[in-house]
């Protein structure tokens, strides 16, 4: 008997996976959590029925949240990750020797617990001595830590459930205040094919708060449309002014110094929605 | 009753579409052809059960086959499209006033006939007076037309069924001979996530024949992995040496002068498979 799991990525289309085994299915205090083992993509974390990450393609998302900002800031010593309880972004942050301390604040301790247990290749660096893991509210954390961070990364779910407040202008204002005077912020901002309004609205809000606002993209096979966007707000450093030849070649599978600026060259359909 | 069509994009994962209506289902002399109307992507052409194009996202593929090569060649007067019976690539080629004549050779007249009938927004330019449509064998055509073309584009299906010979070294050699002394060739070469071996093998073959070989990518939501590659072989002109500021701003939705070179900046997983 073949088992298939289908995520409706919009109401009318979806992605479907042949499943070997279901490892966890649980309603946490915040969301529905599942970890399944797929034939094609390996183990997969689902929150509220949406694919968050798979062992096969997780590196794209995690590298592309972490490295463009960390290679734009000349001295990213203190880093905050809001959300990201699976630990993938933290793993990439730990590849930067300049980072003295990274704090992860995820509201759902179950995501952290099950990721450590079932996704060790993703979550392994959560135990790094340079990492502090806090189970708590990211919104509250940033309001309690003024001018504390060089780089803040928002690795959230969609703006439904616990992540709703992470897509508000008040949150971006709080992030700006939690950053030092030359800080950089980056957030995942969904796909331009079916969530154009979300990207437009985040871009507009971030632009009102940060002097430098940039959007870049990456290919993620298991996310809707396969094209994902990230929005960066920066107080001082422009990711497009970076000298690519000076970027260190890390042990990555997607990001490279050659891709640093090219990732900001967007398809015309994305350029146009940012001009609205 | 909701109808859903699922394409298995590999043996173990797929894409699934809510279908409003089935317009054509026919076994032609060469392949299984279907046109269905989907809720999310509009009308969709399927060959041998694989999504070829949809009204919603077709522009990515068609623009990215046509424009990088046509904006690399300084004077692309004579253009050949092998395959591409839906007419989408021809529509993009017709946006270039320098093109005096474009020849389309598709082996399956039914693809042309049904595309004209059911996909007029894609196929409309097949009736342009600058276009000659030939129902025939592209492999034979190139062997019968030496030094005839400035640019040759291969818009084929996967290397199964009628397109098998379009992925052989003999075919690329024939293309080189059908091109003028400064000609450019481009072909769709599938996705790097599940068809790495195909890209590797095409790249190796093309590199042995053309002095300049380049691979670029584009996001196509309805194709496996959402990341598609194209391989370009050029006798003289390098797409990376183009002055982007001199590229005309066409009426496109994906390609832009800003994206011309950035499309050749590839994720590390693609870079690495090209080095094998």
ipTM (interface pTM): 0.96
Cβ–Cβ under 8 Å, residues B217 and B228: yes
- Which pair of tokens denotes residue B214? 């380049």
| C-alpha to C-alpha distance for A220 and A90, rounded to whole angstroms | 19
Domain B58-274 has CATH 3.40.50.150: yes
**What pLDDT is attached to residue A165?**
78
Chains A and B: how many Cβ contacts under 8 Å? Answer: 126
Candidate from B10, B220, B269 with C-beta closest to A40: B10
> Which of A36, A67, A219 should we substitute to test contact with B (largest number of B Cβ atoms within 10 Å)?
A219
- Which pair of tokens denotes residue A238? 């422009």
With contacts defined as CB-CB under 8 Å, which chain A residues touch B11?
Answer: 18, 39-40
Interchain proximity A269–B259, CB inside 8 Å: no
Interchain proximity B219–A219, CB inside 8 Å: yes
**What pLDDT is attached to residue B132?**
98
**What pLDDT is attached to residue B125?**
98
Determine whether the annotation assigns residue B62 to a binding site: yes
**What pLDDT is attached to residue B27?**
98
With contacts defined as CB-CB under 8 Å, which chain B residues touch A21?
Answer: none
Candidate from B17, B256, B267 with C-beta closest to A254: B267
Q: Which residues in A87-211 belong to E strands, given as ranges?
A: 101-106, 131-135, 149-155, 179-188
Candidate from B12, B41, B258 with C-beta closest to A39: B12
What residue spans in chain B does CATH classification 2.30.140.10 cover?
3-54
Q: What's phi and psi for B91, nearest 5 deg?
A: -55, -40
**What pLDDT is attached to residue B247?**
97
With contacts defined as CB-CB under 8 Å, which chain A residues touch B250?
Answer: none
Residue A21, pLDDT > 90, answer: yes
- Closest residue in B to A269 (Cα–Cα): B253
**What pLDDT is attached to residue B222?**
98
Angle subtended at Cα A38 by Cα A83 and Cα B48, rounded to the nearest 5 degrees? 120
**Tens digits of residue pLDDT in B121-131:** 999 999 999 99
> Which of B3, B19, B268 should we substitute to test contact with A (largest number of A Cβ atoms within 10 Å)?
B268
Q: Exposure pattern of B135-173 as b/e (b: 16+ CB <10 Å)?
A: eebbbebbbebeebbbbbbbbbbbbebbbeebbeeebbe
Candidate from A12, A261, A271 with C-beta closest to B39: A12
**What pLDDT is attached to residue A163?**
74
DSSP A53-121: EETTTHHHHHHHHHHHHHTTSS---EEEEEE-TTSHHHHHHTT-TT--EEEEEES-HHHHHHHHHH-HH
DSSP character for A147?
T
DSSP A3-34: EEEEEESSSSEEEEEEEEEEEEEEE-SSSEEE
With contacts defined as CB-CB under 8 Å, which chain A residues touch B18?
Answer: 11-13
Nearest to B222 by CA among B38, B89, B63: B38
**What pLDDT is attached to residue A79?**
98
Candidate from B256, B258, B269 with C-beta closest to A253: B269
- Closest residue in B to A273 (Cα–Cα): B253
Determine whether the annotation assigns residue A62 to a binding site: yes
Determine whether the annotation assigns residue B156 to a binding site: yes
DSSP character for A1?
-
The fold for domain A3-52 equals Spermidine Synthase; Chain: A, domain 2 (2.30.140)
Angle subtended at Cα A184 by Cα B227 and Cα A65, rounded to the nearest 5 degrees? 25
> Which of B16, B266, B274 should we substitute to test contact with A (largest number of A Cβ atoms within 10 Å)?
B16
Task: List residues of A with catalytic annotation.
Answer: 155
Cβ–Cβ under 8 Å, residues A70 and A76: yes
- Tens-binned pLDDT, residue by residue, of chain B (276 aa): 899 999 999 999 999 999 999 999 999 999 999 999 999 999 999 999 999 999 999 999 999 999 999 999 999 999 999 999 999 999 999 999 999 999 999 999 999 999 999 999 999 999 999 999 999 999 999 999 999 999 999 998 877 777 777 888 999 999 999 999 999 999 999 999 999 999 999 999 999 999 999 999 999 999 999 999 999 999 999 999 999 999 999 999 999 999 999 999 999 999 999 997
Average pLDDT over residues A142-161: 91
**Tens digits of residue pLDDT in A231-246:** 999 999 999 999 999 9
Nearest to B139 by CA among B111, B163, B108: B163
| C-alpha to C-alpha distance for A52 and A35, rounded to whole angstroms | 10
Q: Which of B57, B108, B150, B155 is catalytic?
A: B155
With contacts defined as CB-CB under 8 Å, which chain B residues touch A271?
Answer: 256, 258
**What pLDDT is attached to residue A164?**
78
Interchain proximity A259–B265, CB inside 8 Å: yes
**What pLDDT is attached to residue A157?**
82
**Tens digits of residue pLDDT in A84-119:** 999 999 999 999 999 999 999 999 999 999 999 999
**Tens digits of residue pLDDT in B35-48:** 999 999 999 999 99
Cβ–Cβ under 8 Å, residues A220 and A226: yes
Nearest to B226 by CA among A148, A191, A259: A191
Cβ–Cβ under 8 Å, residues A246 and A260: no
Candidate from A18, A57, A253 with C-beta closest to B12: A18
Cβ–Cβ under 8 Å, residues A198 and A247: no
What residue spans in chain B does CATH classification 3.40.50.150 cover?
58-274
**Tens digits of residue pLDDT in A37-90:** 999 999 999 999 999 999 999 999 999 999 999 999 999 999 999 999 999 999
Instruction: Enumerate the β-bridge partners of residue A44.
Output: A36, A54
How far does B120 lie from chain A, in Å, by closest CA?
A: 22
The residues near A157 (Cβ < 8 Å, ≥ 6 apart) are A31, A47, A48, A50, A52, A83, A163
- Closest residue in B to A20 (Cα–Cα): B12
Residue range B3-54, CATH number: 2.30.140.10
Length of chain A equals: 276
Interchain proximity B254–A267, CB inside 8 Å: yes
Determine whether the annotation assigns residue B31 to a binding site: yes
Q: Which residues of A touch B (CB under 8 A)?
A: 6, 10-18, 38-41, 57, 60, 193, 217-221, 224-227, 252-256, 258-259, 261-263, 265-269, 271
**What's chain A's average pLDDT?**
96
What residue spans in chain A does CATH classification 2.30.140.10 cover?
3-52
**Tens digits of residue pLDDT in B142-167:** 999 999 999 999 998 877 777 777 88
């Amino acid at each position: 008997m073949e088992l298939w799991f289908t995520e409706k990525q919009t109401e009318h289309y979806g992605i479907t996976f042949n499943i070997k085994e279901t490892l966890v299915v649980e309603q946490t205090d915040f969301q529905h959590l599942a970890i399944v083992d797929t034939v094609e993509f390996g183990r997969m974390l689902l929150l509220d029925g949406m694919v968050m990450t798979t062992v096969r393609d997780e590196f794209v998302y995690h590298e592309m949240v972490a490295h463009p900002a960390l290679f734009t800031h000349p001295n990213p010593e203190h880093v905050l990750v809001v959300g990201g309880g699976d630990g993938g972004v933290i793993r990439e942050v730990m590849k930067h020797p300049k980072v003295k301390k990274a704090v992860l604040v995820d509201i759902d301790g179950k995501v952290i617990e099950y990721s450590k247990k079932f996704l060790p290749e993703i979550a392994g660096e959560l135990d790094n001595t340079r990492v502090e893991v806090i189970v708590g509210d990211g919104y509250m954390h940033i309001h309690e830590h003024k001018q504390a961070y060089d780089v803040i990364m928002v690795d959230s779910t969609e703006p439904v459930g616990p992540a709703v407040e992470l897509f508000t202008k008040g949150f971006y204002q709080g992030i700006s205040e939690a950053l030092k005077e030359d800080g950089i912020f980056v957030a995942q901002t969904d796909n331009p094919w079916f969530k154009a309004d979300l990207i437009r609205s985040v871009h507009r809000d971030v632009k009102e708060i940060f002097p430098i606002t940039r959007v870049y993209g990456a290919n993620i096979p298991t996310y809707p449309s396969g094209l994902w966007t990230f929005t960066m707000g920066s107080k001082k450093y422009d990711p497009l002014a970076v000298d690519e030849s000076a970027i260190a070649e890390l042990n990555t599978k997607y990001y490279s110094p050659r891709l640093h600026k090219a990732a900001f060259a967007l398809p015309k359909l994305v350029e146009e929605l940012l001009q609205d």
